[in-house]
Chains A and B, each alone.
Chain A
């Protein structure tokens, strides 16, 4: 199957290894991956802060790069995928609306694509140790993705999955919230991390890059041994 990758701006600039793992994983699952370098950001930072016009300006780049294709658009970040699915409400009429609708209907978060569309759960991965899944808010509540990543992790050799208390509670990132109310945002992350550490895991795994920067940022700051890993990184380990 041919797929288009929307890698997201954060993965592109800060954590390209997650993008590489995603590409390798999709290829292992038999996909041909296309990446259009005209893509930048989905517009979410501006949209969630109440700056709709600026969000539209940036999201038009998504329409230019991905709006005319017919392949599934795979996104290794749940909140960006949710934003792409929201684009028809930002472009209310005309050709842009049609392109936005096309993007929205073709968009899949990574685990959703693997399990629902490809019907693959075993990608031959081996990752020794205990992990816990962090349900990113948009992945869970906007995309309704709950069992898919858990199914994928359950097929990883030597990996044990633990459900930490508050696995579906927000990590405190929330876009500009993380800097507007940085101390509250950090307190929210620390609440989660307390429960993650209590679960005795080696890693907290998610498929939302923002949550991983937030939780990983706090874990590194605290000098914790727990890692914050992307699902693609775990599934791509053999």
Chain B
């Protein structure tokens, strides 16, 4: 069965439509402003006690660049060693293959309930929808993921999936969905989640997790989490299925060191993630604890195609910390759902076109003011504004009208005399629009019809009073002849 498209509502115009809806939602905007600011502040604080931050970033960038340049070699090494550790490795070319593979593993394990710890790749492939269609019951156990599963939503942040919801929202949701007494107290809400989830851990036949890093040298993989739910997901059920992208591989166990410093500080501002679990194979002794079988699904889904261009390859270095979202002024206003992709924010605008296709996601690289705050915070130094620019160049978001507009503009702007005459005609007309009464009103309408971008600009922004003369006129009229006064 074909998995449902995890990239909800994504088409060439979706950001415009979805961002409008987000801007009208005051509760969402309040929650976003609060949490993203808090994350960014905590990150700043964590950095203040990390004097070698820039050295670590450079080191991590170099490890990723080196690995991605020989990804095939390191992947082959990883697979060989993981298999000799008893991990069953599967390769999936796309979402469909990955979902089918996981579905088959679950059916073989005769599972009916599946507990899941947080995994963006399973969101990317739409695994939950696929499992539901197979008659299985996937249960998210990360608190944020569980909340949005109850609400029937997609995550709106890479590390804080329910960031768009206030605790009032969540209290109301628990009340209606679970029938518990209404409360907005964070501790009580957490206790409710804990109570509901505990029984599910015990019932589940299979646990599904994501992966943060694949270590080629040892054939093992690392999962980071703060709630302990991933440990339960991967130790209680008899079968553990991990799903991840092929780009997550790093060469040596020793390379983890720098990433374990960078990732928690960048994401949540923690010096260390609470639980760091390295998986090196299923249990070999029947009396010991842990799963009897570990499956690892390695997903391509457009990643190998990204390897071929140097700039896009850079995006594969992402370690999914979410720091670029927290500082992005666009994300801070509209939140993750506006991007229509499970990967929102600056990194989402870069990788979604590679996953979903330029046709449906080509507008996302334009959902940015190119301010560069994301580049400043990226722990692996991905040059996100440059990537967005490159994708803009590759795409054709504005269509023919924009192309013609820029062709005309460049023709005029490369002729100084003509552009200065047309510039004066424009400012003189705008001066008329700023006059009162009939004349002002009609010239406004006329210029709005002739220059649509100007109409859009002026709808909510007032131009300054237009000058009587341009700078070059003033220069010619005497400004040029004055001498230095000092």
Contacts and interface: CB of A to CB of B under 8 A. Distances in A.
Nearest to B365: A50
A169 interface: yes
A178 B367 CA distance: 10
Residue among A11, A60, A138, A181 with the most chain B CB within 10 A? Answer: A181
A139 to B, nearest CB: 11
Interface residues of B, number: 73
Interface in A116-171: 137-138, 141-142, 168-170
Interface string A36-48: 0111110001111
B378 to A, nearest CB: 13
Given A27-B483, A49-B392, A174-B368, A216 B414 contact: no
Nearest to A189: B461
Secondary structure class of chain A's binding surface, majority of residues: helix
Contacts of A13: 423-424, 426-427, 470-471
A173 B20 contact: no
A23 B171 CA distance: 61
A211 B268 CA distance: 31
Range for the number of chain A residues in contact with chain B: 35 or more
Nearest to B394: A50
B410 interface: yes
Interface stretch (A51-59, A98-106, A107-115): A51-59
Contact of A184 (B334, B426, B461): B334
Given A7-B471, A15-B464, A41-B413, A52 B393 contact: yes
A187 B333 contact: yes
Nearest to A215: B461
Given A49-B398, A57-B414, A137-B370, A23 B461 contact: no
A27 B484 contact: yes
In order of increasing CB-CB distance, the 3 nearest A-B pairs are: A174-B369, A217-B461, A50-B392
Interface of B: 15-16, 19-20, 23, 33, 329-330, 332-334, 365-373, 375-376, 389, 391-395, 397-398, 402-403, 406-407, 409-411, 413-416, 419-420, 423-424, 426-427, 453, 456-457, 459-464, 466-467, 469-476, 479-480, 482-486
Given A16-B470, A50-B392, A58-B414, 4 more contacts: A20-B471, A61-B416, A173-B369, A181-B367
Interface of A: 7, 9, 11-17, 19-20, 23-24, 27-32, 35, 37-41, 45-55, 57-58, 60-61, 65, 137-138, 141-142, 168-170, 172-188, 191, 213-214, 216-218, 220-221
